[in-house]
Chain A
Amino acid sequence: SQQGEEDPQALSIQEGENATMNCSYKTSINNLQWYRQNSGRGLVHLILIRSNEREKHSGRLRVTLDTSKKSSSLLITASRAADTASYFCATVLYQAGTALIFGKGTTLSVSS
């Protein structure tokens, strides 16, 4: 049961540029989370935005949430080579407790 879909599937940029990834979902959510995965490693939680929030910042990350469009975006400003990774959005359904549903991810490549 795929809930979130990230777009684009892959993104290639130069160091210093901004990277924007989008996530769309299908049903009402409690919150939406973004995770990063470096190649061959586990996922790392980046940021959580609740359904009653519209924007949230953490360092070079900015997340927006539009519940009317059922979409979220993750902006990474001034990208670095170390930001090269896959990025996943995950949603929590109101009735599903702690279980998260992940999208297929966006693969970001940042070249120097």
Chain B
Amino acid sequence: DGGITQSPKYLFRKEGQNVTLSCEQNLNHDAMYWYRQDPGQGLRLIYYSQIVNDFQKGDIAEGYSVSREKKESFPLTVTSAQKNPTAFYLCASSRTGVGQPQHFGDGTRLSIL
């Protein structure tokens, strides 16, 4: 079955450490997205990519970085510059075109040690 796989499910970060969250999809979608979800805040867009080797900042890109070297993969790095990284991170993908429905992974919960 096609879908999106996020790993790990739980991740802990020490102060000053960069961590990378994995997102892989086998839906043959061109567009991929990273969201951050805080309690009671809904989803906020961090970065998105509509094609390999290209990506755009979302509303809250500061302290995060991404790469899109392969169509299937869109890893997110939470850098030490992100001072409040504790959150639930969701990856999604969709076909290109305005307003395509998005398919989500089951998220990675990041906490600070």
Closest B residue to A31 using CB positions: B99
Closest Cβ of chain B to A31, distance in Å, is: 4
Of the residues A42, A45, A97, contact of B101 by C-beta under 8 Å: A45
**Contact between A98 and B43, CB atoms less than 8 A apart:** no
User: Interface majority SS on A: helix, strand, loop or mixed?
Assistant: loop
CB neighbours of A94 from chain B (8 A)? 98
**Contact between B104 and A98, CB atoms less than 8 A apart:** no
Tally chain B residues at the interface, Cβ within 8 Å: 31
Q: Does A44 count as interface, using CB distance less than 8 angstroms?
A: yes
CB neighbours of B41 from chain A (8 A)? 104
Q: Does B58 count as interface, using CB distance less than 8 angstroms?
A: yes
**Contact between B102 and A45, CB atoms less than 8 A apart:** yes
Complex Cα–Cα for A104 and B101 (A): 18
Chain B residues 8 to 64 lying within 8 A of chain A, measured CB to CB, are 31, 33, 35, 40-45, 48, 50, 58-59
**Contact between A92 and B98, CB atoms less than 8 A apart:** yes
Of the residues B40, B44, B99, B109, contact of A98 by C-beta under 8 Å: B99
Contact A41/B107 with A99-B45, A102-B43, A104-B42 known, Cβ cut-off 8 Å: yes
Q: Does B105 count as interface, using CB distance less than 8 angstroms?
A: yes
Contact A42/B50 with A99-B45, A102-B43, A104-B42 known, Cβ cut-off 8 Å: no
**Could you write out 12 A-B pairs with CB less than 8 Å apart?**
A1-B59, A31-B99, A41-B107, A42-B92, A43-B104, A45-B101, A92-B99, A98-B31, A98-B94, A99-B45, A99-B58, A105-B42
Instruction: Name 13 extra pairs, CB < 8 A, besides A42-B92, A98-B94.
Output: A2-B42, A31-B98, A33-B101, A40-B106, A40-B109, A41-B106, A43-B104, A97-B50, A98-B48, A99-B33, A102-B42, A102-B44, A104-B42
